[in-house]
Structure 1
Amino acid sequence: MRQFIRHPVSVPIEVKTDRHEPQRAVHTHDISLGGLAFVADEPQAPGAELGLRIGCVQPPFEARARVVWCRPHAANGSAEAYELGVAFLDPQDVFLARMVEQICYIEDYRREVLRCEGRELTSEEAAFEWIDRYAADFPVQRHMPMH
């Protein structure tokens, strides 16, 4: 049974394994109060630690996470893909990831307003509108159980 409600969001992230490979760019699949899920081109064993970096915010969000699960993912095309679920190692990173998630929703809102209404908003204007319209529906972070 899933412990946390997941929220779909597509955020570009970089993933670094402990094998000293270059970071690979992927997109998150969803974010929850405990971690996030993303599609990668290589499987990772549960328990493996990864470095995560989200560079679309300033300062960039960086965190360490542990792979909780890994399963084959039906990808477009013939390339193999794997969906990974990871849990943040530092409880503070959960809070920061939620802030990044909100920023991404606000930027998506800004682009959607431009596309649908032709209104060009600054990031600050979009934040005020998004908060006024949607912040009440954004799930509140609850106390996380310690493992």
Structure 2
Amino acid sequence: MRRFARHPTDIPIDVKVTVLPQTANPACSMTTVSQGGLSCEVDCKVAVGSIVDIQIDSVSPVYQGSGEVVWCREKGESYEVGVRFTNNEEAFKSRMVQQVCQIEQYKNLVYEREGRLLDGDQAAAEWIAKYAADYSS
């Protein structure tokens, strides 16, 4: 049984694997996020145990932290990587996960009500402009 519930998402993130050259660290999209960590798709295989720097600009305030790769699976021509958060800022991580879920709900609501199909970046930008100030209080 999982310790933390996973939430599907396509919010763009920046993951840098510290053992790879800078050119091998493209931005990727999260596939799931939980209070314990996240998974994302990357272009190259990443060794289990690698330390990664994580930046998520789509939440307010921007999340910056680090993680450890706990699994890496081939997925077609890319790889899906599981990353466990390694810092102890549990309250902030929980808040970040809640915010990502709110953005996903907003994206779905906009599609249902307006017929607009937003990607993760667009949904995050609109949600932050409309609701982030209220959310942070």
User: Quick one: which of 66, 69, 79 aligns to 1:67?
Assistant: 69
User: Quick one: which of 35, 48, 54 aligns to 1:52?
Assistant: 54
Question: Aligned equivalents of 2:87 and 2:59: distance in 1?
Answer: 19
Residue 33 (1) aligns with residue 35 (2): yes
User: Quick one: which of 79, 85, 95 aligns to 2:82?
Assistant: 85
The two structures, once aligned, show a CA RMSD in angstroms of 2.7
Which one scores higher on RCO, CA 8 angstroms, separation ≥ 6?
2
Question: Aligned in 2, Cα 1:14/1:4: closer, same or farther, shift over 3 Å?
Answer: same
The aligned length equals 120
Greater Rg, structure 1 or structure 2? 1
Question: Please, which runs of 5 or more residues in structure 1 have no aligned partner?
Answer: 75-79, 129-147
Contact 1:107 1:123 in 2 (8 A): no
Q: TM-score, normalised by structure 1?
A: 0.67
Counterpart residue number, 1:134: none
Q: TM-score, normalised by structure 2?
A: 0.71
CA deviations 1:69-117 (Å, max 9, x no partner) are 111113xxxxx2111111111121x432332222233233334333333
Question: Aligned in 2, Cα 1:123/1:102: closer, same or farther, shift over 3 Å?
Answer: farther
Query: Aligned residues: percent identity?
Result: 28
Question: Aligned equivalents of 2:32 and 2:69: distance in 1?
Answer: 15
